[in-house]
Structure 1
Amino acid sequence: MTTAFPLAWPTTIPRSKNREAGAFRTSLAGALDNVETSLRAFSRDSGEAVSGIVLSSNVSLGVQKPADPGVAVWFVWDGIQICIPVDRYQTPAANLQAIHHVLEARRTELRHGTLALVRASFQGFVALPPPPHWSETLGIGRDAPRQQIESAFRARAKAAHPDAGGSADAMAALNAARDQALKDSQ
């Protein structure tokens, strides 16, 4: 299940390394309204319902320039789970406004092309389920201290390692979970 917090980012799209200020002059409330309006208009124009909308981020209320301003909008359209993630800009408002423009581009395709064209362009946004949170992978709470993170990692590595009957994929997922947990615990 996709969550609003923490950010559920699709594994198929890499995160931005360098974020720009952007030229948008839209407030967070305005950008949220624009995304919601675009989703409703897209649903109406396409004749296909948009449902299960989740705006996912790592942002706390009131933080203007968070360390991670990325936003992912998840929804179901035409029977497929779609995710439009943007973290190109330094603020959540700018990233939401960019998502609004991506949705408006799909509406333009719909007006000047066909529903088949829009379905084809949305194939790049078809969302695989987000990876599990590191706490699930390690089997510990989200507020676990570093020592517990390392202990849980070592215990699970005994079974996940390829030499112990696990797999390279299982060990890679475990390593990634430990790295993110240690980063989050700083």
Structure 2
Amino acid sequence: MSTEAFPLHWPEGRSRTVSWKRERAKFDVTFARARDNIVAEIGRLAGRYPDPAIVLSTNIALRRDGLPLANQRAPEDPGVAVYFLYKKRQVVFACDRWEKVEHNMQAIAKTVEALRGIARWGTGDMLEAAFTGFAALPAPAPEAWRKVFGADVKNRAQLQEAFRQLALIHHPDRGGDPSKMAEINAAREQALRELP
């Protein structure tokens, strides 16, 4: 994996929570416990598959084994991105909804725990469909969004209309392809950074 553990390597195409919209979580967990919970839950999810090659990316300095150190001053950006291999495919979970790094880590651990429940009680195809949205997509090439939305998109209003039209066709809730929808979302994020 070419993902950076420090500083935070946020996945391309994923939106961020603005700082003033972050919330206080009700998790009662220390940084070290949340870190260990993520590693344990991903290990359980991986099961019989080989090493999931976990990369826990935050704005917290790292220990010698590559995991974040506990007992550091809280960073300004509490975002967390966890990259790992699931059935030989790189996936990523990212969370910055909560005000503290350890709470974002615990939210990811709980999400992985819930997905393990789907694997246990649901069907295998449900879990595979869920993981499609967590694929660690490569960064789109500059101007790649124009290939998705067309060269005639010149402002955010036109982008929004083009996005809406494509979402009506490709959204998984409407029977569309999740990977195509992920590509459309990544292109939209790129276009929003460039358009007035």
TM-score w.r.t. the length of structure 2 is 0.62
Aligned twin of 2:76: 67
Q: Which amino acid aligns with 2:14?
A: I
Q: If you compute each CA radius of gyration, which structure gives the higher value, 1 or 2?
A: 1
Report 1:103-182 matches (<5 A). Answer: 103-129=112-138
- Identity score, percent: 38
- Partners in 1 of 2:101 and 2:8 — Cα distance? 12
Flag structure 1 segments of 5+ consecutive residues without an equivalent: 132-168, 177-186
String of CA shifts for 1:104-152, please: whole Å, max 9, x gaps.
1110101111222111100010011368xxxxxxxxxxxxxxxxxxxxx
In structure 2, what is the equivalent of residue 27 of structure 1?
30
Aligned CA distance change for structure 1 residues 129 and 5 (closer, same or farther; 3 Å): farther
SS of 1:118 mapped into structure 2? helix
Distance change (3 Å), C-alpha of 1:57 and 1:129 = farther
Q: Is residue 90 of structure 1 aligned with residue 74 of structure 2?
A: no
How far 1:63 moved relative to its partner?
A: 3.6
Contact kept, 8 Å, 2:34 with 2:109, in 1: the verdict is: yes
For 1:8, the equivalent position in structure 2 comes to: 9
Shift of 1:84: 0.2
Instruction: List gaps (5 residues or longer) in structure 2.
Output: 62-68, 141-186
Count the aligned residue pairs. Answer: 135
The RMSD of aligned alpha carbons is 2.4
3-state SS, counterpart of residue 51 of structure 1: coil
1:76 offset after TM fit, Å? Answer: 1.0
Q: CA shift at 1:65, angstroms?
A: 3.1
**Partner of 2:82: helix, strand, or coil?**
strand
